[in-house]
Chains A and B, each alone.
Chain A
């Protein structure tokens, strides 16, 4: 997709919200990207853009304006059975925007579709930030306490709840994640929140 569109004034920037460069490296090396592939251990992007799960995509135009707010889209249909999302729908809309300038939303619609952070969301990010710093200092037990607090403050924030699992010795694909997912969805909450 990127190769097809990159000569049309278009660039992809990928950001891995990962514990370490080492966690992201196999993914990046397998993809051999020709676009910037960045690492964000401190979740700078999640804080700035109020991202609470991955994948999250946004479209930003030539003037640096957000024209599609946080949305869920996958590059292919590998996870379709779980997500119910059709990758082609996003790719078709993306092609129409890059090739023809077709914007999916007006500015007012973008604002209406944005989720803005609550005080609890930002407090959770402060506890995540303290935990992440302590983890980097080798203070894993102290870090785990702050990750737990962050998850209580923002139970919908899976960049925290799932994204810290490796740092507390849990497998983010394992039984603890499946139990977290089941509990969350059975309570009636969506795990992914795609735009309508």
Chain B
């Protein structure tokens, strides 16, 4: 395959643990996401003022545009949002992680980050359901 030839592929974008199937264009090692999929899946939309979600806009530097006719460049999008990206072109999958600054700020606020996880029977448990009690949270493993 000529690496400069744009080809359409099905692709799985894992947004902080949640897999989303999207149709992408792969071109020379870059993954271009359709703008409508970025809006539907991640909530971000390209506007004249930048990349926006709700009232928040991140300016897109003119020197590094993240969009062409093919869509929005995944690596450029991750960089603008300061989200770590793990990309596997062969497997047609990528993982967008959480920004270090967001995680650090959440911890420094001292409000315990909330989570929902299953038990062995598959029942979901949420940390914040236990407000009003003191909680000893223990992470362990069989390894």
Contact = CB atoms under 8 A, between A and B. Distances in A.
B96 A126 contact: yes
B99 interface: yes
Interface in A148-184: 149, 159, 162-163, 165-166, 172-173
B110 A65 contact: yes
Contacts of B128: 64
A123 B141 contact: no
B143 A125 contact: no
A117 interface: yes
Contacts of A98: 134
Interface stretch (A81-89, A108-116, A185-193): A108-116
B130 interface: yes
Contact of B136 (A12, A65, A111, A116): A12
B103 A55 contact: no
Given A18-B141, A65-B110, A130-B86, A25 B134 contact: no
B80 interface: no
Contact of B131 (A26, A64, A69): A64
A163 B141 contact: yes
Interface of A: 9-19, 21, 23-29, 36-40, 42, 44-51, 54-66, 69, 94, 97-98, 107, 110-111, 114, 116-119, 121-123, 125-127, 129-130, 133-134, 139, 142, 145-146, 149, 159, 162-163, 165-166, 172-173
Interface string B98-133: 111001101110111111011110000101101111
Given A11-B130, A44-B17, A58-B112, A126 B140 contact: no
Contact of B125 (A13, A50, A117): A13
A64 B86 contact: no
Given A110-B110, A129-B95, A117 B104 contact: yes
B140 A142 contact: no
Contacts of B2: none
